[in-house]
């Protein structure tokens, strides 16, 4: 007999792959399926996705995960969606056809346009209303690029023929058969068009970027029924879609960081540290972002975020670019085979530096090379760079929020690396906790969906489901830690000074 459930499905639409996961009511993984899709690099620094590829990868993984689980569709209580954030899609309201590829969050399409728009008044307006910065990372700059570079898009948008959405909106629109144009507050808070204090699209910002209000989705909470999936996509059942959050906020939720001061760091392609600041939107004076953590019922909570653009991808570069490794996992043994980097530092500013520096013009550098520098030293320096960047962000966070972090919950593919986890704990001087389920992004989306349809009743119940895999306690002497960190800071300063202008 097939298991009765209830089960919850999470769709985790990430930058390089889509994943569908099925969870039971204890928060345990029943099955999962994953598909990569094509990354399109039309020019140096530009990254695009085909919106239809994304949709297909989601539909295929949904079906595969259900087959693997061997459960009835009727046992699924709800579907949650979590997504790569900021990535921008524009499509025709009538035909559903995208007008162009999706412009991906990392892409620098709109970098020049941002420089041309920059002024003290614009910077202040953006920061005050959105908690963000004027940077090509965010959606409104990508929309403006589409208006300026793709023929007819501005005019069609002005005539009300086009819709805009981040990937969550694009998926919900399609999975509900073109009936529902919504997003949630967390995704809205990454567009540069949303007032995070007043909770609404902001007319001044719409005017600044030339965006007609008619193309915007309705903004909703993170845990409610938005619509029902078309039965043809889900074994004949119109299951509710009832959870939406951007992937980093979903991970914060999946890590059960529900109290102000609790923080998580996700070590994937990039690294995103978010600290819950509760009902208070804490403005950053140290290069972080203020963002919405979630909205449950009428309650809104905020987070401080440090966005690091290159983390796990530095290991991919060692593997595919320098061919120093066959597999990412080998980096652990390689780093552990030497006692230190012998003062080699690698600053992986491949696409500039994100938080807290925001320097899109700088590029990566390696310092301290000697005749004795080996492959192992470089691998270790690459892993250490993730930990140093995280310390930069944490220092900014503690200064902004005026608190000292007690522990850091960590997740994402790269934190399976024990060397990195230990070095990170050493470098921060706080315990690092690794949960049993490191797919916390999908788990968070499942929790949000399950809360909306009664699979779980409360956040307290969810917090009790969090389980530790391993705890890493700081073991490095403070004097060594500070000496190493000073070396990193010098390396970053030197990187930012090159080439001399």
Ligand X SMILES: O=P(O)(O)OC[C@H](O)CO
Provide the annotated binding site for ADP.
15, 19, 269, 312, 413, 417
Interface with ligand X, residue 24, by CB under 6 A: no
Q: Does 248 bind ligand X (CB under 6 A)?
A: yes
Given a contact cutoff of 8 angstroms between Cβ atoms, the answer to whether 36 and 56 are in contact is no
- Can you say which residues are annotated as belonging to the binding site for sn-glycerol 3-phosphate? 15, 85-86, 137, 247
The sign of the dihedral angle between the CA atoms of 58, 59, 62, 64 is: negative
* Contact status: 417 vs ligand ADP (CB under 6 A): yes
**Can you tell me the distance from the alpha carbon of 393 to that of 470, in angstroms, rounded to the nearest whole number?**
23
87 touching ligand ADP, by CB under 6 A: no
86 binds, among ligand ADP, ligand X, none (CB under 5 to 8 A by kind): ligand X
316 binds, among ligand X, ligand ADP, none (CB under 5 to 8 A by kind): ligand ADP
Chain centre distance of CA 217: 20
221 interacts with ligand ADP by CB under 6 A: no
Exposed (0-12), middle (13-18) or buried (19+): which is 179, by Cβ within 10 Å?
exposed
Task: Please give the radius of gyration of the chain, using alpha carbons only, rounded to the nearest integer.
Answer: 22
Cβ 316 to ligand ADP shortest distance, Å: 4
In the complex, least distance from residue 334 CB atom to ligand X, rounded to whole angstroms = 24
Per CB under 6 A, contacts with ligand X among 88-107 are 105
Question: What is the DSSP-derived secondary structure letter of residue 138?
Answer: S
As measured in angstroms, the least distance from the Cβ of 229 to ligand ADP is 24
We find the least distance from the C-beta atom of residue 379 to ligand X, in angstroms, to be 22
Task: Examine residue 59 and tell whether it contacts ligand X (CB under 6 A).
Answer: no
Q: Does 32 bind ligand X (CB under 6 A)?
A: no
- According to the binding rule CB under 6 A, does residue 277 interact with ligand ADP? no
> Would you say 321 and 379 are in contact if contact means Cβ atoms under 8 Å apart?
no
Return the ∠ at Cα 105 (arms to 100 and 108), rounded to 5°: 80
Q: Around Cβ 7, how many Cβ atoms within 10 Å?
A: 24
105 binding partner (options ligand X, ligand ADP, none; Cβ < 5 to 8 Å by kind): ligand X
Pick between residue 260 and residue 416 the one whose CB is nearest to ligand ADP.
416
Least distance to ligand X, CB of residue 17, Å: 9
Q: Please choose, out of 218-226, 231-239, 414-422, 424-432, the segment that lies near ligand ADP by the rule CB under 6 A.
A: 414-422
Q: What are phi and psi of 267, to 5 degrees?
A: -100, 85
Q: Which residue is nearest to ligand ADP (CB)?
A: 413
For residues 78 and 23, what is the distance between their CA atoms, to the nearest angstrom?
Answer: 11
What is d(CA 112, CA 45) in angstroms, rounded to the nearest whole number? 12
The 8-class DSSP code of residue 352 comes to B
Residue 53 within binding range of ligand X, rule CB under 6 A:
no
Q: Which residues pair with 294 in a beta bridge?
A: 301
The set of residues, in sequence order, having a beta carbon less than 8 Å from that of 323 and lying 6+ positions away, is: none
- What is 16-61 written as a DSSP string? SEEEEEEE-TTS-EEEEEEEE---B-SSTT--EE-HHHHHHHHHHH
Nearer Cβ to ligand ADP (134/442):
442
Q: Which is nearer to ligand X, 291 or 334 (CB)?
A: 291
Query: What is the per-residue DSSP string for 266-301?
Result: EESSSEEEEEEEET--PPPSSS-EEEEEEEETTEEE
Interface residue with ligand ADP among 328, 365, 366, 496 (CB under 6 A) is 328
Closest separation in Å from C-beta 21 to ligand X: 14
Q: Is the peptide bond preceding residue 499 cis, with omega within 30 degrees of 0?
A: yes
Binding piece for ligand X, criterion CB under 6 A, among 80-88, 339-347, 356-364, 392-400: 80-88
Tell me which of ligand ADP, ligand X, none is bound by residue 248, counting a contact when its beta carbon lies within the kind-specific cut-off of 5 to 8 angstroms: ligand X
Under DSSP, the state recorded for 405 is: -
Provide, rounded to whole angstroms, the least separation between the CB of residue 250 and ligand ADP.
12
Site string for ligand ADP, 9-48 (x = CB under 6 A): -----xxx--------------------------------
**Binder of residue 313, out of ligand ADP, ligand X, none (CB less than 5 to 8 A by kind):** ligand ADP
Nearest to 318 by CA among 362, 341, 348: 348
Enumerate the known binding-site residues.
15-17, 19, 85-86, 137, 247-248, 269, 312, 316, 413, 417
The torsion angles phi and psi of 244, rounded to 5 degrees, stand at -140, 135
* 65/22 Cα distance (integer angstroms): 7
Binding of ligand X by 270 (CB under 6 A): yes
From 32, 87, 169, 269, residue interacting with ligand ADP (rule: CB under 6 A) = 269
- Residues 274 and 257 sit within 8 Å (Cβ to Cβ): yes
CA distance 39 to 101: 11
Stretch that binds ligand X, among 167-175, 241-249, 477-485, 488-496 (CB under 6 A): 241-249
Contacts with ligand ADP, residue ranges (CB under 6 A) = 14-16, 268-269, 312-313, 315-316, 328-329, 331-332, 412-414, 416-417
Contacts with ligand X, residue ranges (CB under 6 A) = 14-15, 84-86, 105, 246-248, 268-270
């Amino acid at each position: 007999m097939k298991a009765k459930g209830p089960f919850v499905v999470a769709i985790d639409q990430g930058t390089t792959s889509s994943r569908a996961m099925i969870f039971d009511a204890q928060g345990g993984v029943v099955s999962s399926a994953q598909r990569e899709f094509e990354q399109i690099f039309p020019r140096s620094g530009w990254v695009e996705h085909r919106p239809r590829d994304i949709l297909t990868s989601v539909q295929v993984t949904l079906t595969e995960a259900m087959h693997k689980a061997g459960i009835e569709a009727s046992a699924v209580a709800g579907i949650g969606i979590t997504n790569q954030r900021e990535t921008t899609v524009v499509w025709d309201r009538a035909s559903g056809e995208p007008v162009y590829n999706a412009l991906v969050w990392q892409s620098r399409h709109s970098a020049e346009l941002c420089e041309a728009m920059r002024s003290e008044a614009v910077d202040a307006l953006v920061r005050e209303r959105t908690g963000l910065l004027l940077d090509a990372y965010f959606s409104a700059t990508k929309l403006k690029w589409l208006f300026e570079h793709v023929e007819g898009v501005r005019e069609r948008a002005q005539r009300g023929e086009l819709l805009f959405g981040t990937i969550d909106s694009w998926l919900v629109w399609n999975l509900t058969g073109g009936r529902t144009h919504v997003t949630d507050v967390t995704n809205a808070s990454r567009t540069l068009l949303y007032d995070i204090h007043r909770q609404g699209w902001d007319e001044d910002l719409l005017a600044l970027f030339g965006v007609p209000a008619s193309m915007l989705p309705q903004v909703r909470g993170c845990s409610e029924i938005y619509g029902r999936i078309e039965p043809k996509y889900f074994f004949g059942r119109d299951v509710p879609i009832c959870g939406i959050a951007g992937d980093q906020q979903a991970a914060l939720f999946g890590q059960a960081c529900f109290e102000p001061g609790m923080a998580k760091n996700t070590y994937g392609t990039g690294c995103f540290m978010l600290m819950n600041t509760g009902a208070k939107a804490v403005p950053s004076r140290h290069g972080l972002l203020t963002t919405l953590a979630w909205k449950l019922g009428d309650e809104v909570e905020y987070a401080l975020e440090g966005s690091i653009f290159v983390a796990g991808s530095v290991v991919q570069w060692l593997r595919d670019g320098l061919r120093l490794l066959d597999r990412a996992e080998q980096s652990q043994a390689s780093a552990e085979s030497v006692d230190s980097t012998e003062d080699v530092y690698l600053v992986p500013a491949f696409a500039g530096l994100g938080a807290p520096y925001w320097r899109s013009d700088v590029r990566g550098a390696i310092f301290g090379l000697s005749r004795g520098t080996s492959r192992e030293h470089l691998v270790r320096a690459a892993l250490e760079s993730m930990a140093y960047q995280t310390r930069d962000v944490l220092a900014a966070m503690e200064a902004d929020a005026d608190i000292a972090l007690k522990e850091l919950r960590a997740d994402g593919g790269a934190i399976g690396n024990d060397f990195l986890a230990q070095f990170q704990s050493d470098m921060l001087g706080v315990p690092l906790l690794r949960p049993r389920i490191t797919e916390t992004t999908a788990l968070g989306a499942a929790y949000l969906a399950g809360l909306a349809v009664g699979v779980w009743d409360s956040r307290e119940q969810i917090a009790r489901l969090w389980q530790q895999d391993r705890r890493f306690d700081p073991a490095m002497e403070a004097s060594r830690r500070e000496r190493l960190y000073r070396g990193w800071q010098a390396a970053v300063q030197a990187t930012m000074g090159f080439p001399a202008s």
